[in-house]
Amino acid sequence: MNTLKKIGLTALGTSLVAGSAYAGEITASGDAGYTWSSEERGVRTDEGYGFNHDITFSGSGELDNGFTVSTTMILTEDSGLSSSNVALTMGGMGTITIGNGLANIGGAYDDVTPRAYEENSDGMATAGALDSVGTLMDGNAILYSSPSFDVAGGSASFKFAYSPENGDSATGEGAVAAQSNIYDSGMALGIDVTYGGLSVGAFADEVKDAQGETTNDGRRDAMSATWYANYSMGPVSVGYQTGGLDRGLATAATAATAAKTVAAAGGNFEFEKMSIAFNVNENLSISYGTLTETYDAQGVDSIADVDLESDSIQFAYTMGSMSIKGYNTDESNPGWDNDAEGNETTELAINFAF
């Protein structure tokens, strides 16, 4: 009798394993190319020839219940890992993603106005405030993306993220996040709505101070927030985006004539971006974008606000799998330093997709 039970249980276990199997596949794609860049600051000009290649490995499979599991890993020219993640798409219930290199869900909102090539920050001397939206929750968060649903003739979707302990480093299998003495848990929310040619959206996150209220170190919870509106009229697209961020640091406010970084400066940063893009034909597009980012010393009247301004003209031309793209970005007060010399960057890139 016991032998029969063992045989029956073994057969049942085998059928359960077979029933949970799914067909999957691994694919590879990528792009490669050459770049020429020139950077002018004051009387100094630096030039460089470079190359780039991104190789993307993707895997996916479908479960018996219709859910799909997918994974993506991107390798860059220095053999570094740009990003990697695992996503579970639950049919009409949305997608859960865990990974790194995604800039949290904030990566979908850090510069979303129309452009032909790169974000304005690509040609700036320092990492910008708009480019830093949502980045505190990059490496140790669970992300949820809803499916699109109808709203009064349009469509809407939302994204939510939670991190029990924030950090930029990837959290591998069975690992815990590297402890931070600055930041603790965090939450983020993003919403997007589309009506015909109009698309609007908003994002906000809050990251708790690791010390809470147990110390008088002066730190605050960190936050970043932005909203945008884009409108397309045939070949023309226009966009506007604004917002700000505060890292909540207790560092003393920095003088108007000293260089600053988003990661280390006391005070907060506000930004405003406007752009217009035009599709000349199905192969050629051009754009112009202007960005102003303001450093505010937060109540320190003796320190004046500093505006970092960036104007970028861009183009992109495609011929099948080959593309030629370029920009010229002119930046004033880099590093939010009133004494800094202006910075002008020009880049041309030839790329091949495969």
pLDDT score of 15: 37
Q: Quick check: 104 pLDDT over 70?
A: yes
Instruction: Please indicate, yes or no, if residue 14 is contained in any of the structural domains.
Output: no
Query: Domain holding 221: CATH number?
Result: 2.40.160.10
Range of 135-149, 226-240, 299-313 with top mean pLDDT: 226-240
Instruction: Please indicate, yes or no, if residue 105 is contained in any of the structural domains.
Output: yes
Instruction: Please indicate, yes or no, if residue 155 is contained in any of the structural domains.
Output: yes
Domain residue limits at 183? 26-39+49-353
**Collapsed DSSP state (helix, strand, coil) of residue 212:** coil
Answer with the residue of higher pLDDT: 254 or 351. Answer: 351
The answer to whether 161 and 107 have CB atoms below 8 angstroms apart is no
| Residue range 232-253, pLDDT digits in tens | 999 999 999 999 999 888 777 7
pLDDT score of 251: 79
Task: Tell me the average pLDDT across 250-266.
Answer: 85
- Residue 217: pLDDT band (50, 70, 90) is low
Closest to 237 in 3D by CA, of 87, 83, 114: 114
| Residue range 151-178, pLDDT digits in tens | 888 999 999 999 887 766 666 666 666 6
| Residue range 42-74, pLDDT digits in tens | 888 899 999 988 888 899 998 888 899 998 888
The answer to whether 272 and 291 have CB atoms below 8 angstroms apart is yes
The Cα 292–Cα 307 span in angstroms is 6
Single-letter amino acid, residue 29: S
Instruction: Please indicate, yes or no, if residue 273 is contained in any of the structural domains.
Output: yes
Secondary structure in 3-state letters for 288-352? EEEEEEEEECCCCCCCCCEEEEEEEEEEEEEECCEEEEEEEEEEECHHHCCCCCCEEEEEEEEEE
Residue by residue, DSSP assigns 87-109 as EEE-GGG-EEEEEESS-TGGGGT
Closest to 167 in 3D by CA, of 142, 135, 208: 135
Instruction: Please indicate, yes or no, if residue 213 is contained in any of the structural domains.
Output: yes
The Cα 45–Cα 38 span in angstroms is 7
The C-alpha torsion from 143 through 147 and 149 to 155, rounded to 10°, is 80
Task: Tell me the average pLDDT across 249-268.
Answer: 85
Instruction: Please indicate, yes or no, if residue 20 is contained in any of the structural domains.
Output: no
- Say how far residue 10 (Cα) sits from the centre of its chain: 49
The answer to whether 199 and 145 have CB atoms below 8 angstroms apart is no
What average pLDDT does the structure give for the chain? 85
DSSP state of 183: E
Read off the tokens for 81: 């890992």
Single-letter amino acid, residue 68: T
**Looking at the 3D structure of the chain, how many domains does it have?**
1
- Residue 252: partners with Cβ closer than 8 Å, 6 or more residues away: 266
- Residue 179: pLDDT band (50, 70, 90) is low
Q: Quick check: 324 pLDDT over 60?
A: yes
Instruction: Please indicate, yes or no, if residue 8 is contained in any of the structural domains.
Output: no
Instruction: Please indicate, yes or no, if residue 316 is contained in any of the structural domains.
Output: yes
The Cα 121–Cα 269 span in angstroms is 15
Q: Quick check: 321 pLDDT over 60?
A: yes
The Cα 105–Cα 161 span in angstroms is 7
Burial of 304 (0-12, 13-18, 19+ CB in 10 A): middle
**Collapsed DSSP state (helix, strand, coil) of residue 261:** coil
